[in-house]
Structure 1
């Protein structure tokens, strides 16, 4: 505020001080020099008149242009009136004009007094107007304006009264009270204006207060002058002139401030208009466009220069309703506007007056509402469609007034409830009568809950038609609130959903039936996978045996045809069964520590002969950066790669126009991602883009010609994709017709806990010169050799290589392909290097004098084979393959000694043969153990003795292995944990998971070879006994072919001592007779008992090598578990036939060795 500014107060103090000094100066001058000089008074009076006129004119200009407050108008008129009175007084007092010759000087003083009285009354009235105008007291404000003409008339009468004041009595009576009244008016005005200076935006008032102060001082000078009023007139005139100057100064300063404020506001307004998001157009009072912003230019398509100066009808052809400035000051409406291109569009228009009196006009805000109108039209059409839909869909509308407790229905509601308005004019009573009594309370509670909380209700209830039919109704309602947020009404809809519910129930029943049938199908296929594969394995085995027997050429061809057809059929069956397991969700993923390099190389070796038979060259690269062990499902990974490689070989086989090749690359993704990338590429027939789009769809191949030419079910790639997804990976393919295909598989992995280092030859001191060749990929061999530490140099031909050798020292191995077969070039005479040659290709041996070594064939070259060949060529020691050893003990500890040493083992096994087998294995390995026939006996033994390991079968009478494990875990002391190993003939992954869940620590499958048993015992019983160095051959990787009796199986379990083997065979024969007698005597016994007996016989049969009997027992066990009597009879018949075959081989062997006693073991 102005009065709060220190600088303004300093200016005011300076003015007051100057005024005071001027008063003192004038006082002094009035006492001396100016006394008796009328001419000076005349000139001074003329100056006062001019200053009063100037101040009055400034006040009127200020009022007209800047400030519409009425006190400024009154001030201007008063100042002009005072100037007029002073001018008249001057004219009548001058001799030159002689307007009133009879007027004396004493009468002129009366005129002066009248002028001062007019000025004082004007100031007081202007203050009152300013004060009451700010309070909006219009009646009082009007009275004050009426009082000014009355005051002016009285003043004029007083001015023209020709009063002579020379009489001292009259002067005492008139002049003194008149001057005092003027003094009082000025004092009241000063107090009033000083009060107004405490309010904001009163700059003029401040300067006016100073002016009144100067007038007040002048009046005091006239009253208090020692020589009389006439003598002090000169000083008073000077102060009055100062007061006029102060008024002018205040008006000019306020006008300047308001001009700057208006200019700043205009700039701000222009900035706001320019940056406004809506269009803004300014008009004058005639409707002529004066300006517009950029948003308006975009709306109408015109540039600002194109529409400025034009009438608004250029943009609004229909004009305004009403025209601006005629009917109302503000306008807000929607009009039709015209774009520059002539198109019409809806426009939202808001118009108001600018409020600038000096330049009246209007400001219009415009907005293109075409999109809003389109949405409104769409909403209207949607509402119409909704209304039609409710009518067509038999949807009833209802409205419940909560305040009046009144329910209103439309006609459709009465139709839904099968009621009439005549029967029930009160819809609420109609609803209460129709709703089922059991559903009424719940429906009412839903309405109450909507009102008190949720704001909506959705409910279903039953109604009863007049004919007794029960229908289902769905009701939806929304609460409507008033301005006070109180629930006022509920509006909603009803429709009959009886038919819908019936359809949904029927669909649900059909879905359940379909799911049950599909689940039964999938479960059957997944469970019967072993039973389906078993006869096919028999066909393939017999065909292979037949093919190797003496046959005529025609018979050999027939045997080979049978074998190939059986293998093809088995592959198809495997694909279907795997796919069914995936679809049924029964395929489990088991992450095991796996050597990826060994797995891939083994797979390529198995397919090498297939590729060679089809004239396909197989290329392999496995990055040496891959860890030695990772966690992956090796079975599923092998299955994925087998499918992809098999397809690649199949679709590029025997192509006469090219050298058919397949590439398999195994590489690591860039860190930090742990992912293996497998890429299988071929240069075969390729595929079209439309074929790629359906490539992974089950039972789909490229086309019918592909199926006829190459065969297959179309399941291989579908299985691959699902297996990759189960392993959390991704698979994709690129292919070009006629050029080949490339499949990419990315599988994330985790590192295994153990990372064993493999023994590789040390070739760090060698220099390998590698020649480019078609027999291998040079960059792959470089990667192998450099990772092994060798220095590698690559050359395009042999001549450049031999030239480079002259600069080398040490041992140099030159690796080449079949392009440089012997005779090899002679060794350079000037070289200091020891040169060796290594050929990599299809040849098997070279045998020249230059030390060339034999390398593996170029097809699917192994990294270890390459490094060994390089080492051998250089004359280094060949790395011998590691051969695991299994040692047998010097002596077997007693049970008491084993318990004292913490090595006693508890075995729970229901089959007597299996109990003897495992005890014999313990004896061979140097361990002692106790056996129990079931889980209950094992639990009692565990409670009585101190065992360090428990090995249990899973399926036993009285208490199975799962219950035994749970019981031990519950009873074992806190802080102790005895290892429990499962040993079962069921090699299913689900069994392993179930065993772990029951509290077991590991899972072993029967038959259990010695090497695998020893590994498990060493892991869980780390205290080893003193062993003798007796080496056993490691177990073969593949299971022996099934035969009637394979004694080698039993020998691997208990050793090759003939007497011990014969003893176990005799025990098995005795148990076989008992089991067969039990099965033959009660063929119709309970399915559970049949399954249990078959399971026991299966276990012992596998242990002694009676594999044909084991398979028949497994078929009987599964048939009994499924509860299929027909399958049980078939399985029993098959079992009896296989028993006869077994006895035909077993009895002669037993008769030859009867009554033989070996190593203290006697069979009775």
Structure 2
């Protein structure tokens, strides 16, 4: 075996990405610094050696105290390991980790201070990626990545309680083996419970420090455990859940043997031993003359065989490349050898000693002789396997979350259709019976059935609204609206319910309010209706006051406060946080007494947040509550009133006999696959229009055939049917009408409640839209709109 060339160590240092340095102590004048300092900072090597204070200028001003404190403690500990920020020559901020130690002679006299600085910016950016993922991915990461049960490091999970106490929740198998403590004996305990006051207080201090830092901190510690006293290097990372740091993940590596080995090293080898131990996975030196390679101990332990690691033929390294990567890696290296590049890096898969493949990042430097001929390549390797696993976990978690959301959306859409279909029969036939000659007792029973159906319909609508908000599909439609008219018409909806409880419902509209503003009138009405309805529901006596007033105006934008004040039962503010939980109320007894799904305030709060505002609550138990929010709205010169926006109709049942219209004798085609819906629609139509002619089709294909036989005056088209749905049937009918000037009105019938259903129906060529359950008022209004007024 030939000895390595005298300059091998310097060549290796030149190829390292990490910065190696040696300085006097305590003066801290730079004796040596590796060439990679220029890559890290942008400054030449002379910058650090010509003036010993220059290196301090690179440290970020906010982190200089951290470095100074570490250097002060260096004389006591003989070592440091810290993370801080530097500012490069081009003003870029980088995160670095510095690890170093004092070198002493046999008598303990300090000779110098040696260390290594590594750029860890990319590692910290990976934490940011994990932090910004959705709630579903966070949950999977907590289950699959935080605990790291397969890790050789000792892992533990600490929960940060609301009273600022720290409770141990989970440890992994490596922790149990290294410390002698098992899961059952440690779970649920605090550091004081486990270690006592004297040893537990410093541990708690470290937990408090990581919460203040809001990022990973690393330190060394030595704590007596049942398995013995060992030296650990511990990294703590705070985990944010819903905007608050609720967990701390700890990882401890047993460095006891490493410390003993370091103390046993000879002085002449200490500097380079430190470099090799704290560097990446290992280094190599490829001699182009002999076409052989020298590998470091660490590289050989991971990728080598039982032979020696010196003078290894290059073919051995090539044999480790994954078959999928072999062709492009060899082509890449051939192109590098033909170029004038000196430094480069590339990533590929390499076979380890155990037979599995690892993702490896190689950073390389090519050395030339005085004639410019390439004589060797030196470099280092980094194992990217764990990084790739985390990336894969994130990707799979995201795919699973998206699939779950899609499945949930499909389920709710189907649930809406299936529930609304029987509701159509219940409410429709009830309305028909209410128009018959009945006794008062029979009418009262039918009214109760109708109100129960309407309540169930309201429940379905609430769940669908919650689903759209939860999946991010709720979009606002900004329309210039008469603000006073919108609020007044909304309050008017509750006058009867307030009067029935002898509650005074009052509206205060400030005289300085603008007339027209841009907002989503449907969603603002929904928010106000929920809050006013709740106020009346939970008030037994007194009053409910709705107030709207301007706060401030800047150019064409004005801030307007909406508030609803009541003298009702009030809210225990200790239960305030439960108000906005889905399917939850402040007290379970409220559900038993007043009913409700617990979704109203959740939907209201989410809608207000979509409008870039927050719902505020002031309340005192037994004395009443005030709910308020502020909207920033654009002031306009013109706009629409609520009657035009909502097409308000009298949908309440008129219990008098329906007046017949025997002038209408149109031919109407009903396309419906449900016999009950078909029978209901027929009775509703013939009740008022006894002279019309009704035809029926069981699916879209049947509808197209009947249209070809005879063109009807109007078509009622169900959307979801077997064989051919209503959308496709409408498209086919419009194709048949291509050469005619007159087109038959087609009215969609659907149990679906999503706006996208209506949009799709109109896009397919339909003229109007009725949602099941269908009211008689809406049905008759639609018939007369298209058959008596002649509008198309």
Q: Shorter-chain TM-score: what band?
A: 0.3 to 0.5
Higher relative contact order (CA 8 A, sep 6+): 2
TM-score (normalizing by structure 2): 0.47
In terms of fraction of residues, the more helix-rich structure is: 1
Structure whose alpha-carbon radius of gyration is higher: 1
In terms of fraction of residues, the more strand-rich structure is: 2
